[in-house]
Amino acid sequence: MNLTIDQGNSSTKIGFFDKGKLIATYKPVFLDKNTLTPLLERHPTENVIISSVTDNTDFINEFSRNIPGKIIFFDHETPIPIKNKYRSPETLGKDRLAAVIGATTLFPNIPLLVIDAGTAITYDVFYNNTYHGGNISPGLKMRFNALHQQTKRLPLIQHAPAPFWGTNTMEAIRSGVQNSLMMEFEGYISKINQEFPNAKTILTGGDADFFVSYTKSIIFAQPNLVLSGLNRIIEYNA
């Protein structure tokens, strides 16, 4: 059994894998001894991999004696099953790289565009068994927050279905943010398909469910892509 932990900017996801299959996921509010103890009792674990943007991994020290296999703190020096051409690997978000590796388990030997719609939105490109880099853009909530915080009168609103053309200020904000992001998605998908007609686009992240119903392009939604990538990395090392 492998335990995968993905600590992001706004949430934490935990996944347990048995023989390559994801058998359970959890989204704890806090990651500490009280959270992990009952989960490890429920799912006896041999190996652990942790990807954290906060670098707050002291909690795992309490369990290290009870883990018979490997404990990997995923960073730019961790061996991975693909090539990485990012010129500053130490600054590359670990979740970005893990998501790409997770995508390769779904579509091996196929060019890929991986879109992670979280706090920030990342667009990452993979082909010829190599990660070639990508782009970073403000996420959905970040754009709503920016319009509210950087102006005096625009309200803070949440995403929801809206007409394409807004007929009041709230609709104008909502439609403007959401449609501009969808056009951004479509532009990146069109770009990868021009370069690689057989490419697949995979969408993941906290806002993936909202966006997947809006895109007109063929797209695959996979909410546990980062966890799958982390499991592939620990299998590669263990």
pLDDT, tens digit (0-9, with 9 covering 90-100), for 216-229: 776 888 999 999 99
Which CATH number is 212's domain given?
A: 3.30.420.40
DSSP string covering 6-24:
EE-SS-EEEEEEETTEEEE
Residue 154 DSSP symbol: P
Residue pair 45/70 in contact (Cβ under 8 Å)? The answer is no
Stretch 168-185: mean pLDDT: 95
The answer to whether position 102 is within a domain reads yes
Query: Which pLDDT band, with edges at 50, 70 and 90, does 8 fall under?
Result: confident
Where do the H-state alpha helices sit in the chain?
A: 33-42, 94-106, 140-149, 169-195, 208-212, 225-237
124 catalytic residue (yes or no): no
Let me know if residue 166 belongs to a domain.
no
Q: Yes or no: say if 54 and 7 are a contact pair by the CB < 8 Å rule.
A: yes
Does residue 25 lie within any of the structural domains? yes
How far is 186 from 141, CA to CA, in rounded Å? 19
**Residue 149 to residue 158: CA distance in whole angstroms:** 14
| pLDDT the model gives residue 138 | 96
Decide if 110 is inside a domain.
Answer: yes
What pLDDT, on the 0 to 100 scale, is given for residue 36?
Answer: 85
**In contact, 134 and 122? CB cutoff 8 Å:** yes
What's the rounded mean pLDDT across residues 164-168? Answer: 94
The pLDDT of residue 90 is 94
Residue 87 lies in a domain: yes
Residue 149 within any structural domain of the chain: no
Instruction: Name the catalytic one among 18, 55, 58, 95.
Output: 95
Query: With contact defined as beta carbons under 8 Å apart, do 131 and 83 qualify?
Result: yes
**Is residue 174 assigned to a domain?**
no
Q: What is the pLDDT of residues 22-81, one digit of tens each?
A: 999 999 888 777 888 889 889 999 999 999 877 666 667 666 767 878 889 999 999 999
Looking from the CA of 96 toward its CB, the CA atoms found within 13 Å total 24
- Is residue 136 a contact partner of residue 121, using CB atoms and an 8 Å limit? yes
Q: Which residues contact 220 (CB under 8 A, 6 or more apart)?
A: 106, 200, 201, 202, 203
Which DSSP letter does residue 85 get? Answer: -
On whether the CB atoms of residues 150 and 166 are closer than 8 A, the answer is no
Answer whether 136's CB lies under 8 Å from 116's CB.
no
pLDDT for the residue 29: 84
Report how far Cα 20 is from the mean position of its chain's Cα atoms: 19
pLDDT tens across 96-141, in order? 999 999 999 999 999 999 999 988 999 999 999 999 999 999 999 9
pLDDT of 115 reads 96
Predicted pLDDT at 34: 81
> In terms of residue numbers, what domain contains 66?
2-139+179-237
Residue 107 inside a domain? The answer is yes
Position with higher pLDDT, 209 vs 200 = 200
Cβ atoms of residues 59 and 36 within 8 Å: yes
| Domain count within the chain | 1
